[in-house]
Amino acid sequence: MLRTLAAAVLLALAAATTVLTVGHRADDRREAFARQAESTARQSVLAILDIDAGSARADAQRFVDASAGEFRTAMSAQLDNYVRALQQSHVTSTGEVPAIGIESQTEDSAVVLVAARTHVSTSGGAAQDRNVRLLVTVTRDGGAAKLTRLEFVS
């Protein structure tokens, strides 16, 4: 009887350890994806904000390359118009992301709130500093995290 009780206790401890380990690994995967989503959102927003008329095509392509799905399709379709507008207005813009955080997250996507600042100058006007906030959806696309939605918010 004592052996049966000891075996039952050991079995219960093994089961509890397994449950805790599996739960901990799921939390680790969730945290890792959150960090990846924040990094992808930061890089994508900077790809939009760091532009120069002289390298407009490469700058715009960098942003398209960081995206996926319908968003990528839409951006690719407008790429030539976007580049032309940047070149004609001689836009130069630099950005920074002082704050970023996960608003919500599932296993395969995250909505990231990004606070950014940009310094914009054009050939026809004075330079302007702007603060912007964006909601960026990052989704797993194969093995990579990609931007699948971007929305400016007030």
What pTM does this model have? 0.78
Cα–Cα distance between 124 and 139 in angstroms, integer? 38
Per-residue b or e along 128-147, where b marks 16 or more CB atoms closer than 10 Å to that residue's CB: eeeebebbbbbbbeeeebbb
Summarised one tens digit per residue, pLDDT across range 25-48 is 667 888 999 999 999 999 999 998
Was domain 2-153 assigned CATH 1.25.40.10? no
Specify whether the CB–CB gap between 150 and 134 falls below 8 A: yes
Summarised one tens digit per residue, pLDDT across range 87-121 is 898 889 999 999 999 999 999 999 999 999 999 98
Residue type, 140: R
**Mean pLDDT, the chain, integer:** 87
Cα–Cα distance between 41 and 148 in angstroms, integer? 10
| Mean pLDDT, rounded, for 5-9 | 61
pLDDT of residue 17 exceeding 80: no
Cα–Cα distance between 47 and 90 in angstroms, integer? 17
pLDDT of residue 1 exceeding 70: no
